[in-house]
A and B are shown apart, each in its own frame.
Chain A
Amino acid sequence: MTPLLQVRNIEKRYGVRIGCADVSFDLYPGEVLGIVGESGSGKSTLLNCLAGHLSPDRGEVIFDTRVDGPRDVRQMPEAERRLLSRTDWAFVHQNPRDGLRMRVSAGGNVGERLMAVGARHYGDIRQTAGDWLTKVEIDTARMDDRPSAFSGGMQQRLQIARNLVTGPRLIFMDEPTGGLDVSVQARLLDLLRGLVRRMGLSAIIVTHDLAVVRLLADRLMVMKSGHVVETGLTDQVLDDPQHAYTQLLVSSVLQV
């Protein structure tokens, strides 16, 4: 099977400081990869390099495109890359304000990606937007309200709906449960797990929260100081950590 995403030797430096270096991995269709590490470990830099928000200094990000098969995203013209990022790719920001248009209604937020790829039937767009609001457990009566009137959890669910509406194959998530209360986190995680499984999505989730990856990720990558220090199946890494840093991470969670 062709990997959906092949990452080769990604490196990003900020002056002399290493953002991330020597990162390589394959991601297969339907697979969820968790990237964990403390803040400053380079996991967000890596995610942003993969998603095209940052330009890495070297390396390849090869995506298995629908039409042309595997292609290095970094070599694509900007137009193609941007098209990819609003069709087959999705990005869920930690802060929903970064991923939503706060002055556009919930329905408009979900509908934007549809309109961006050519949907021109208002009724259909609204119908699809309504379906997606239901899927992320937002009452369709709130469809014409702006996200600024929503709670943090609702905003995050709306951001997820907005991203998934075009049926992407790969979703990047940056601390998706970051700013939420614990009870709200659990509900969101549950929702995410359901959606990822049902849609057969591949996902890369960056988090410092091991509970999140325990629930969602098939495989784990542990990062420290910009480098990957350990990889493996989630349960294996969490239950039998090999690297001293991973052991520390796991034990600090167990203490909580």
Chain B
Amino acid sequence: MYVAVKGGERAIDAAHEWLADERRGAPDVAELSISQIREQLSLAVNRVMAEGSLYDPDLAALAIKQARGDMIEAIFLIRAYRTTLPRFGVSAPIDTGAMRCDRRISATFKDLPGGQILGPTFDYTHRLLDFALMADGAVSPEVKEGGPTDAVPLPHVTEFLDREGLLQPEPEDNTPPRDLTREPLDFPADRPLKLQALARGDEGFVLSMAYSTQRGYARNHPFVGELRIGRVAVSMDIPELGFAIDLGEITVSECETVNQFTGSKTEPPQFTRGYGLVFGQSERKAISMALVDRALRWEELGEDNVGAPAQDAEFVLSHSDNVQATGFLEHIKLPHYVDFQSELELIRRLRAEAMMASTGPREAAE
């Protein structure tokens, strides 16, 4: 006698126990501490903060630990936590002009006021495995020159172009932007909404979209006008006090691209820009975001829609969120036997009818 499968509850409990055990790994290896992850896997922490949309390095490190290093899982943990947090208010826009930069480079000018600051970058490292890091207790060399303490506010590179009128000005707009986390995504999306979606979009997705524009799918000739990474103050108006106070500092990466623009009959040629801003040191993401932002602006700038994926706001925004994407992708692991059963019956019937139709006459002849 057949008995339907039971035991879902027990299976789940057992799976969770096993998962906890796997997460810990071999017990004779020391357990990772949150501060180790925060300090030594800081770029992973940055990515989780950026795509989780929550600036909290400790919680991001915890999420990475709990997720066994699965970044999207860690981002998901942060998102699920974030959504339960009460909202006290809205901070003032951060002033990236006042950023204390650890890194600041421009690809458009050889030298500029404040200078190029290379900062802690992989850019000119040779990608050779450093076996010294395999040895326990390796001590990093001291920073001899530069270093965070030297940082002072630097002017934005685009300001120089702005002053000459070479760069299309962005209209000042103080309407509060729509909030992607509190309102349903709605089309057509305005630029603030697009930028929000890109800022928390999957790094890999945004990178690929940006890359596609470079390869000719809505090419827009970007130059990195400026990439800057550093600390900015976050301040908030406190109604009871009647003025803004600084709540603390966050590290962000900001990228402004300068893009070619042919001009039109009414407007002389000008450069246009794309913009990227991401939590933490996440420069790949910031540059990608700026390229995709620029590609999405085709309509506003009167360019042709060449049908490239990166120009299609509905496509880009609907598919950039990795928490949504992974959930929907992985849900096909859930049982679908009811739907499958109905397809099975349909296919059997259609096949039977087709067989009947093809074998029918022969049978009649026999």
Direct contact of A and B (CB under 8 A): yes
Nearest A residue to B266, CB-CB: A15
Let me know if B264 is at the binding interface, CB within 8 A. yes
* Residue numbers in B under 8 Å from A15 (CB-CB): 264-266
* Residue numbers in A under 8 Å from B265 (CB-CB): 15-17
Binary interface encoding of chain B residues 250-273 relative to chain A, with 1 for a CB under 8 A from any of its CBs, else 0: 000000000000001110000000
* Residue numbers in A under 8 Å from B264 (CB-CB): 15
User: How far is the CB of B302 from the nearest CB of chain A, in Å?
Assistant: 9
Bound together, the chains give a CA A15 to CA B265 distance in angstroms of 8
Q: Is the interface of A mostly helix, strand, loop or mixed?
A: loop
In residues 265-298 of chain B, which contact A (Cβ within 8 Å)? Answer: 265-266
Bound together, the chains give a CA A17 to CA B264 distance in angstroms of 12
Bound together, the chains give a CA A16 to CA B264 distance in angstroms of 11
* Residue numbers in A under 8 Å from B266 (CB-CB): 15-16
In residues 180-202 of chain A, which contact B (Cβ within 8 Å)? Answer: none
User: How far is the CB of B350 from the nearest CB of chain A, in Å?
Assistant: 16
Bound together, the chains give a CA A188 to CA B266 distance in angstroms of 44
Binary interface encoding of chain A residues 53-93 relative to chain B, with 1 for a CB under 8 A from any of its CBs, else 0: 00000000000000000000000000000000000000000
In residues 221-272 of chain B, which contact A (Cβ within 8 Å)? Answer: 264-266
In residues 1-29 of chain A, which contact B (Cβ within 8 Å)? Answer: 15-17
Bound together, the chains give a CA A247 to CA B264 distance in angstroms of 35
Bound together, the chains give a CA A192 to CA B266 distance in angstroms of 44
* Residue numbers in B under 8 Å from A17 (CB-CB): 265
Bound together, the chains give a CA A16 to CA B266 distance in angstroms of 8
Bound together, the chains give a CA A17 to CA B266 distance in angstroms of 11
Bound together, the chains give a CA A16 to CA B265 distance in angstroms of 8
User: How far is the CB of A98 from the nearest CB of chain B, in Å?
Assistant: 14
Nearest A residue to B302, CB-CB: A15
Bound together, the chains give a CA A15 to CA B266 distance in angstroms of 8
User: How far is the CB of B219 from the nearest CB of chain A, in Å?
Assistant: 24
User: How far is the CB of A130 from the nearest CB of chain B, in Å?
Assistant: 21
* Residue numbers in B under 8 Å from A16 (CB-CB): 265-266
Binary interface encoding of chain A residues 210-229 relative to chain B, with 1 for a CB under 8 A from any of its CBs, else 0: 00000000000000000000
Bound together, the chains give a CA A171 to CA B75 distance in angstroms of 56
Bound together, the chains give a CA A80 to CA B264 distance in angstroms of 37
Nearest A residue to B267, CB-CB: A15
Nearest A residue to B264, CB-CB: A15
Nearest B residue to A14, CB-CB: B265
Bound together, the chains give a CA A140 to CA B324 distance in angstroms of 47
Bound together, the chains give a CA A230 to CA B264 distance in angstroms of 33
Bound together, the chains give a CA A16 to CA B267 distance in angstroms of 12
Bound together, the chains give a CA A17 to CA B265 distance in angstroms of 9
Bound together, the chains give a CA A15 to CA B302 distance in angstroms of 11
User: How far is the CB of B144 from the nearest CB of chain A, in Å?
Assistant: 58
User: How far is the CB of B357 from the nearest CB of chain A, in Å?
Assistant: 15
Nearest B residue to A17, CB-CB: B265
User: How far is the CB of A114 from the nearest CB of chain B, in Å?
Assistant: 26
User: How far is the CB of B248 from the nearest CB of chain A, in Å?
Assistant: 49
Bound together, the chains give a CA A184 to CA B265 distance in angstroms of 42
Binary interface encoding of chain A residues 165-180 relative to chain B, with 1 for a CB under 8 A from any of its CBs, else 0: 0000000000000000
Bound together, the chains give a CA A33 to CA B266 distance in angstroms of 36
User: How far is the CB of B206 from the nearest CB of chain A, in Å?
Assistant: 31
Bound together, the chains give a CA A125 to CA B297 distance in angstroms of 45
User: How far is the CB of A64 from the nearest CB of chain B, in Å?
Assistant: 36
Bound together, the chains give a CA A17 to CA B302 distance in angstroms of 15
User: How far is the CB of B354 from the nearest CB of chain A, in Å?
Assistant: 15
Bound together, the chains give a CA A96 to CA B265 distance in angstroms of 34
User: How far is the CB of A223 from the nearest CB of chain B, in Å?
Assistant: 22
Bound together, the chains give a CA A185 to CA B339 distance in angstroms of 50
In residues 40-86 of chain B, which contact A (Cβ within 8 Å)? Answer: none
* Residues of chain A whose beta carbon lies under 8 Å from any beta carbon of chain B: 15-17
* Residues of chain B whose beta carbon lies under 8 Å from any beta carbon of chain A: 264-266
Question: 6 closest pairs, A vs B, by CB?
Answer: A16-B265, A15-B266, A15-B265, A16-B266, A15-B264, A17-B265
Q: Can you identify 6 A-B contacts, CB atoms within 8 angstroms?
A: A15-B264, A15-B265, A15-B266, A16-B265, A16-B266, A17-B265
